[in-house]
Amino acid sequence: MGNSFGTLFRISSWGESHGGGIGVVVDGCPPRMDLSEEDIQPCLDRRRPGQSKLTTPRDEADQVEILSGTFAGKTLGTPIALLVRNKDARPQAYEEMKTKFRPSHADFTYQNKFGIRNHEGGGRSSARETIARVAAGAIAQKFLSVDQVKITTYVDRIHDIECPELEEVPTLESIEASPTRCPHPETAAKIESRILEVKKAGDSVGGTIICRVNGLPVGWGAPVFDRLEADLAKAMMSLPATKGFEIGSGFKGTYLKGSEHNDLFEEREGKVRTKSNRSGGVQGGISNGEELYFRIAFKPTATVLQVQKTVNEEGENTELMGRGRHDPCVLPRAVPIVEAMTALVLIDHKMRHHAQCFSFIDEG
């Protein structure tokens, strides 16, 4: 239960951190589209562990295999099954966590809900599950860019080190230039030192990620329950370690008066545009053609390599020394995951928009 996402472009994810592998079934993908492993692997390479000294040293190549749904390099319109095998599992580090709950992790709640759990590597609660989202999201991204929809995601703040507001949408090259995935070089350098500093102390830090989507047409989103921002919020808050979602002016916008906050309409180059974009590209739950702009908060990684107070399965007070291979900061690796979830929401809403409004739709 709770392992599927999307309405028309629907994914079902499966797998645990230290099981045989992680997989996803994508149902509803349009037929006759070009698709091969080479379209998916680059996205997984951006997510994989061990990619820099800022991430967990778990060494996984995360090679994807397409098991079904394509023939001769084209999608068949049948379910696409993707598999990534786990290769570098080391369950020994999790022995103490068999009976003791990690503070702020999923051990206590999984044990109490299911009465059983795979404690090795965090089982299903491990961020390895996000492989499924990134693999499926790569397909969504490929077919979205056919429509010139461009998703840009980057690290905005780590701990108290904040990137200045970027007027221009940063390029992928500038984001990938630093292992922090912050496109502002001076900020990136400071962030890198901060992450290494906390890593050395066996500690962790969190921060915020910005996602900007350009090239969206007017009309995507299905009010009232499936407003575009509601589905994006769900997508983002379904990611492990997320603590907040805000769109457009977000929480800060509430400090303004309505007259200051409104995005005034104007005619520009033959199109209806807004002078400002405090709406973040969505009004009434529907894209308005401006940049879709939102921010997500990720907490500091729960597993710290320090002794912390906790309880065991018998409910007795005890202590736990965090062990295993962990990300001192999850944000650099979360960037491609946010991108994937955004693509999944958008492709689904594109298909839903076309399904409902096909009689008059014209998106060029």
Ligand X SMILES: Cc1cc2nc3c(=O)[nH]c(=O)nc-3n(C[C@H](O)[C@H](O)[C@H](O)COP(=O)(O)O)c2cc1C
Confirm if 295 and 280 have CB atoms less than 8 A apart: no
Confirm if 215 and 270 have CB atoms less than 8 A apart: no
Residue closer to ligand X, measured from CB, 34 or 95: 95
Which residue in 17, 41, 56, 342 binds ligand X (CB under 6 A)?
Answer: 56
Of 86-94, 193-201, 254-262, 330-338: span binding ligand X (CB under 6 A) = 330-338
Residue 127 binds ligand X, judged by CB under 6 A: yes
Q: How far apart are the first and last CA of the chain?
A: 39
Compute how many residues bind ligand X; rule: CB under 6 A: 18
Q: Least distance in Å: CB of 337 to ligand X?
A: 6
CA neighbor of 313 nearest in space, from 134, 119, 163, 151: 119
CA neighbor of 183 nearest in space, from 193, 175, 191, 194: 175
Instruction: Give the span between the Cα atoms of 322 and 313, in whole angstroms.
Output: 17
Which residue in 22, 239, 296, 340 binds ligand X (CB under 6 A)?
Answer: 239
Residue 334 binds ligand X, judged by CB under 6 A: yes
CA neighbor of 339 nearest in space, from 219, 185, 235: 235
**SS3 assignment, position 92:** helix
Residue 333 binds ligand X, judged by CB under 6 A: yes
Residue closer to ligand X, measured from CB, 230 or 329: 329
Residue 330 binds ligand X, judged by CB under 6 A: yes
- Quote the tokens at residue 214: 């350009």
Q: Least distance in Å: CB of 68 to ligand X?
A: 27
Of 123-131, 176-184, 185-193, 228-236: span binding ligand X (CB under 6 A) = 123-131
Residue 205 binds ligand X, judged by CB under 6 A: no
- Quote the tokens at residue 48: 């994989």
Query: Per the omega criterion (within 30 degrees of 0), is the bond before 64 cis?
Result: no
Q: Least distance in Å: CB of 240 to ligand X?
A: 3
Q: Least distance in Å: CB of 191 to ligand X?
A: 16
Residue 92's φ and ψ, nearest 5 degrees, are: -55, -40
Residues numbered 151-180 forming contacts with ligand X, rule: CB under 6 A: none
Residue 131 binds ligand X, judged by CB under 6 A: no
**Where does 159-283 show beta strands of DSSP type E?**
161-162, 207-214, 242-247, 265-268, 271-274, 282-283
CA neighbor of 40 nearest in space, from 357, 340, 255: 340
Residue 106 binds ligand X, judged by CB under 6 A: yes
Residue 97's φ and ψ, nearest 5 degrees, are: -80, 0
Residue 212 binds ligand X, judged by CB under 6 A: no
Residue 240 binds ligand X, judged by CB under 6 A: yes
Residue closer to ligand X, measured from CB, 106 or 205: 106
Residue closer to ligand X, measured from CB, 249 or 303: 303
Residues in the site for ligand X, rule: CB under 6 A? 56, 105-106, 125-127, 239-241, 301-303, 326-327, 330, 333-334, 337
